[in-house]
Homo-oligomer: A and B are copies of this chain.
Amino acid sequence: MTVNSSHQLWIYDTTLRDGTQREGLSVSLEDKLRIARKLDELGIPFIEGGWPGANPKDVQLFWQLQEQPLTQAQIVAFCSTRRPLQKASSEPMLQAILASGTLWVTIFGKSWDLHVTEGLKTSLAENLEMIRDTIEYLRSQGRRVIYDAEHWFDGYKHNADYALQTLKTAIDAGAEWLVLCDTNGGTLPHEVSQIVTDVIESCPQDVQLGIHTHNDSDTAIANALAGVMAGVKMVQGTINGYGERCGNANLCSLIPNLQLKLGYKCIADNKLSNLTEASRFVSEVVNLAPDEHAPFVGRSAFAHKGGIHVSAVQKNPLTYEHIEPETVGNSRRIVISEQAGVSNVLAKASGFGIELDKNHSATREILQLLKQLESEGYQFEAAEASFELLMREALQTRPSFFQVKGFQIHCDLGKGLETTKALATVKVAVKNQDIWEAAEGNGPVAALDAALRKALVKFYPQIDTFKLTDYKVRILNGHTGTSATTRAMVELGNGQQRWTTIGVSNNILEASYQAVVEGLEYGLIKHCQVDSPLKVFE
């Protein structure tokens, strides 16, 4: 990977490492893999997977990605320089890095003298030695190195001379990229411009610089842009700006600014229109409400109210929109007169391999149903199986495998009880028979799932191969307390495929029940298609 054109920029995503530092965000290994594959699909060239030396769980991620590699992205392992007065070759953290098997490694080191003497409690010379030794060791093991200069801007302001020495040490040791980090997020854009210009003047001509910014001054995007305009070629950030404290530079804002407004090339133009979907996918996976007011990708980003305004925007969108929403996969939304969206439905259908005609009555019906359900709290971005069922319903191609006629949940809990099992009873109509079954589970949803399977397995033995692989609950309008609307999402898998379904209700049990039932139903449809490739749609 080398920089071919002066207008090429390299996007480096750190959602899986720095992004997970956000307070309240936690991800499983499975979540991380799903996000990594989504970023790969989007065409992000560098994806930082984690810090295997500090977080043993991250090792698994790299192993899984060795077995099933990404298609185009480089997955990057992250680590600090070795500890003071050790040898890089005997540093356990670095052994964990090598074991993760990535070609690219990002090493962060100290740029700010104060952090060396007060934080690491070592000498300025030893810090340089730590940088040199660590990078040289990784190079000797065939790794390519990105060097993150932590606290770069603060360090440079306090002791420019020493800060520049750390960069030169990293270059001499073989780092291919030097990334200037505003770790505390306190730098303003005009300072970034000045300091990046200074660095470019002080470094050899062929050095490739990057920038990593945080949003503590509410200028993370502008700081990154200032860096690029001063000459850096790599930009680090996270999807949705997730990150410690006030977050990192938001790639969902950075990429369109760079690509649409400044003419840089970051990802393929035809991928840019997947940005909104990627943003919502990631927020669903990490189970955080998407920011509706987020620039470019938020639900309100191109929302228009009021009469004149609306007719003006329809006549000439340029008058009230800074970009065309479709270029980033978002859409204009007319807040009062709810219209537009047929193209959305057509696009979604085509994503499922279903070619819909925009004049087909079912198309309008789906659209109407979709709008109604989304206003109730359904969200189909990450629950495509439920959306497919909805479309099949409208097209009258939804097979009927079973019908749940009722269920009851009973739970007896309280202090002093060791285990608190729940009991579910269900009544299901299958192939003209009414079946009653009961089962116990750790929680009410597990009990319900168990009772349903018990009722259905006699008729559909393949149901035994379906496993519940994920279950997520989100309270929507949280501030109304425990009677708020609840959205449940369930993921099932059969070993080859996975699918996600959704349920929404005031009652958390009802919402979960809807999702579980649709998940089993969708699995049966897929199974039938595999057994006899039934062409359901024209």
Task: Report A's interface with B, CB cutoff 8 A.
Answer: 21-24, 26, 28-31, 112, 114-115, 118-119, 183-186, 188-190, 215-219, 221-223, 225-226, 229, 244-247, 250, 253-254, 257, 261-262, 287, 289, 292-296, 298, 300-303, 305, 308, 312, 315-316, 318-323, 335, 379, 381-382, 403-417, 420-422, 427, 441-446, 448-449, 467-484, 486, 490-491, 505-510, 512-513, 516
What residues on B are CB-neighbors of A323 within 8 Å? 186
Q: List 27 A-B pairs, Cβ < 8 Å.
A: A23-B293, A23-B382, A24-B381, A24-B382, A28-B479, A184-B321, A189-B189, A189-B222, A189-B225, A216-B322, A218-B221, A218-B250, A218-B295, A246-B293, A404-B414, A409-B411, A409-B444, A410-B410, A410-B411, A411-B444, A413-B510, A413-B513, A443-B506, A467-B481, A470-B479, A471-B481, A473-B508
What residues on B are CB-neighbors of A444 within 8 Å? 409, 411, 444, 507-509
What residues on B are CB-neighbors of A507 within 8 Å? 411, 413, 420-422, 442-444
Contact A420 B484 (CB under 8 A): no
Given contacts A189-B225, A222-B222, A403-B415, contact A490 B479 (CB under 8 A): no
Task: Give the complex CA separation of A128 and B509 in angstroms.
Answer: 55
Contact B411 A245 (CB under 8 A): no
Contact A481 B508 (CB under 8 A): no
Contact B300 A482 (CB under 8 A): no
Task: Give the complex CA separation of A298 and B478 in angstroms.
Answer: 19
Tell which of B244, B319, B443 touches A486, judged by Cβ atoms closer than 8 Å.
Answer: B443
Given contacts A24-B382, A295-B216, A406-B413, contact A443 B509 (CB under 8 A): yes
What residues on B are CB-neighbors of A403 within 8 Å? 415
4 additional contacts, CB 8 Å, given A23-B300, A26-B474? Answer: A23-B293, A216-B296, A219-B257, A471-B482
Given contacts A184-B322, A486-B443, contact A472 B475 (CB under 8 A): yes
Task: Give the complex CA separation of A287 and B289 in angstroms.
Answer: 17
Contact B479 A289 (CB under 8 A): yes
Contact A442 B410 (CB under 8 A): no
* Residue ID in chain B nearest A486 by CB atoms: B443
Nearest chain B CB to A347 CB, angstrom units = 16
Task: Give the complex CA separation of A491 and B475 in angstroms.
Answer: 12
Tell which of B23, B484, B512 touches A471, judged by Cβ atoms closer than 8 Å.
Answer: B484
What residues on B are CB-neighbors of A112 within 8 Å? 319
Contact B411 A405 (CB under 8 A): no
What residues on B are CB-neighbors of A315 within 8 Å? 118
What residues on B are CB-neighbors of A379 within 8 Å? 26
Contact A216 B246 (CB under 8 A): no
Tell which of B30, B221, B262, B303 touches A478, judged by Cβ atoms closer than 8 Å.
Answer: B30
Contact B445 A482 (CB under 8 A): yes
What residues on B are CB-neighbors of A335 within 8 Å? 23
What residues on B are CB-neighbors of A295 within 8 Å? 185, 215-218, 246
What residues on B are CB-neighbors of A409 within 8 Å? 409-411, 413, 444
What residues on B are CB-neighbors of A28 within 8 Å? 477-479
Contact A469 B474 (CB under 8 A): no
Contact B406 A412 (CB under 8 A): yes
Nearest chain B CB to A155 CB, angstrom units = 11
Tell which of B189, B293, B406 touches A22, judged by Cβ atoms closer than 8 Å.
Answer: B293
* Residue ID in chain B nearest A403 by CB atoms: B415
What residues on B are CB-neighbors of A508 within 8 Å? 443-445, 473, 508
Nearest chain B CB to A476 CB, angstrom units = 8
Given contacts A316-B114, A381-B24, A414-B427, contact A483 B406 (CB under 8 A): no
Nearest chain B CB to A38 CB, angstrom units = 17
Contact A302 B414 (CB under 8 A): no
* Residue ID in chain B nearest A516 by CB atoms: B482
Contact B442 A506 (CB under 8 A): yes
Given contacts A119-B312, A507-B422, contact A381 B292 (CB under 8 A): no
Contact A244 B483 (CB under 8 A): no
Nearest chain B CB to A331 CB, angstrom units = 13
